[in-house]
Copies of this chain bind each other. A is one copy, B any other.
Amino acid sequence: MINKLIEKIKKLNAPVVVGLDPMLSYIPEHIQKKAFAEYGETLEGAAEAIWQFNKEIIDKICDLIPAVKPQIAMYEQFGIEGLKTFKKTVDYARSKDLVVIGDIKRGDIGSTSSAYAAGHVGKVQVGNKCYMPFEEDFITVNPYFGTDGVKPFIDVCKETGKGIFLLVKTSNPSSGEFQDRLIDGKPLYEIVGEKVAEWGSAYMGNSYSYVGAVVGATYPEMGKTLRKIMPKTYILVPGYGAQGGKAADLAPYFNEDGLGAIVNSSRGIIAAYKQDRYAGFGEENFGDASRQAVLDMIEDITTAVGLK
């Protein structure tokens, strides 16, 4: 799957992933009204509104980008109905040949990690039958448990040809509280980065590992160091746009081959129609606003990192 992701990034010249992290407040009124008219102001109604919103955005941007990254929390908050929409979104995006990165940030002790892995990037056995319940292509994983919490994810991915992105340095303001603390003179995120490189070396694609890393756009100096520590690791970079990360800061996340990083934007794309810059499209045409925002993001990033 890392090979497919890289091929698509190259073909589209778009090291970009769009985060499908819908809040109800992002969803245009006409979509909410229609969903509530059909299902009432219920969890089912909310889930339907999110589904219609996602579908329109995917339709409008799927030819421009290699991947989408649905954030499961935004679906899980609406319970079972929300999770049905998560699943429908994953399936629909895959049917449009998008690589789907499930942003689920799971992680636990071994046997429990195996269960998460089976449900999201693997298979479960029921009697003599096998099922792939959520079937994302990649998922994000929390490394706090160490090797025996992480390895089950990698083992499952090896069977299905799928991959993971491990949290190394997150984009939020207080990420440094634990992640930046010095251990033998080295910050924790570097120690985690070294482990990610080690784990990943045992599961390589053609040029990069199936085991990637998450490093926030908001910490470019750390991105530079981590790029060196993990030369064969694809870096998923959240924090561009709404969280304050600038395109000019993204160059250090890339390797000299122009590869090695994929930059995420969520709100900046899916709620583009709410920005002054794209207000001209009008709320009804929110999908067109998102399309233009994707085009602008690709232009912004490829220019800044010298891919044009």
Chain A interface residues toward B at CB < 8 A: 21, 24, 32, 36, 41-43, 45-46, 71, 73-74, 76-80, 82-84, 87, 105-110, 112-113, 115-116, 118-120, 124-129, 131, 133-134, 142-149, 167, 170-179, 181-184, 188, 191-192, 195
Contact of A145 among B73, B113, B175, B195 (CB under 8 A): B175
CA distance A262 to B147 in the complex (A): 27
Evaluate whether A43 and B106 lie within 8 angstroms (CB atoms) in the complex, with A87-B79, A167-B144 already known.
Answer: no
Q: Contact: B191 with A124, CB < 8 Å?
A: no
Q: Which of A41, A74, A108, A184: most chain B CB closer than 10 A?
A: A108
Residues of B within 8 A of A74 (CB): 112, 115
CA distance A192 to B128 in the complex (A): 45
Q: Contact: A133 with B172, CB < 8 Å?
A: no
Residues of B within 8 A of A126 (CB): 24, 36, 41-43, 45-46, 78
Residues of B within 8 A of A107 (CB): 105, 142
Closest 3 CB pairs of A and B: A79-B133, A41-B127, A146-B177
Q: Contact: A144 with B144, CB < 8 Å?
A: yes
How close is A148's CB to chain B, nearest CB, in angstroms?
Answer: 4
Evaluate whether A106 and B105 lie within 8 angstroms (CB atoms) in the complex, with A134-B79, A146-B172 already known.
Answer: yes
Q: Which of A79, A120, A184: most chain B CB closer than 10 A?
A: A79
20 CB contacts below 8 A, A to B, read A21-B112, A24-B126, A36-B127, A43-B131, A73-B106, A73-B108, A73-B116, A73-B119, A74-B115, A77-B119, A78-B124, A79-B134, A80-B84, A80-B133, A105-B142, A142-B142, A148-B172, A149-B175, A181-B191, A183-B188
